[in-house]
Amino acid sequence: MSLEDELRFSLRQRETFLGVEGGFADAQYFIFGVPYDLTSSFRPGSRFGPEAVRRFSANIEANSYSKPYDATTAKVYDAGDIVFSYKLSTMLKRVYRVVKNVSLSGKMPVMVGGEHTFTYAAFSAVNASTLIIFDAHFDLRNEYCDLWLNHATYLRRLIEKRPQAKIVVLGVRAFDLAEEKFAREKKITFVKPSELNDVSRTMRILKEFVANRSFYLSVDLDVLDPCYAPGVGNPEPCGITPGQLFDLIHFLGEHSPVAFDVMELNPLYDNGSTAAVASKLLIELLASTAES
């Protein structure tokens, strides 16, 4: 046994998604974390989300629940986390730069957070005409907690920057009347949890937005009911189930999103179920895009 082999047997490298140690050159998926939650207004802690996803993904079964697929065979490169800065503007620039360069390299950027604000930077960096979001909230406030850009305002800022983008919000159920009015004025398509029970109707709606279009797919884990996902920053009752989410992710994955994120995992308020769902969600994404 060589010294390198002996050391590898005795020492463990940093945790990676699924425990996979893939390389950048051959990767189809480029996974990175954003450990930032400084604009969180209720329950901070999502900065620890990327770490929790890596830990749980390496300790649950890597098979898809809906098709024969072993996610450990996927060409995944886990690049680690964005270097932390207290300045939101610096973090946004770093996320933008990473997503832009990865996208241009032909790989799929997969972002794990961390607060939802960073979807603003990631979507801005890719060539996508449509943004499909799973979220309990609209995130369309003009200002929140004296901040112009944060987790509750990012989508409004994005619409101001990309007014031609098509926006779909699925599972939304917690918003003020001004946000709903703004959503209707801007012709945002939104589907509430009760309407998602009609899966065939939902898929017909989504097909209009993904057929022959490039799209970015974003999941805020608070779209799930708190009984399934208590570990989020802003939990809201009457959410959807993991099964509903996975089915829709499979449908959307088969239409080839250009980038994907799963945000707002907060391990400080979790019993492990949210981290397990987030990890399985990424596995289902790999399964659904493997043949697309």
Annotated binding site for Mn(2+): 116, 135, 137, 139, 220, 222
Measured from the Cβ of residue 258, the count of other Cβ atoms closer than 10 Å reads 18
Contact 183, 142 (CB under 8 A): no
Residues forming the annotated binding site? Answer: 116, 135, 137, 139, 220, 222
CA angle 100, 103, 104 (to 5 degrees): 85
Which tokens in the block code for residue 100? 């832009």
The dihedral built from the CA positions of residue 77, 81, 82 and 88, taken in this order, carries a sign that is positive
**Cis amide prior to 243 (ω within 30 degrees):** no
Which tokens in the block code for residue 51? 């770490």
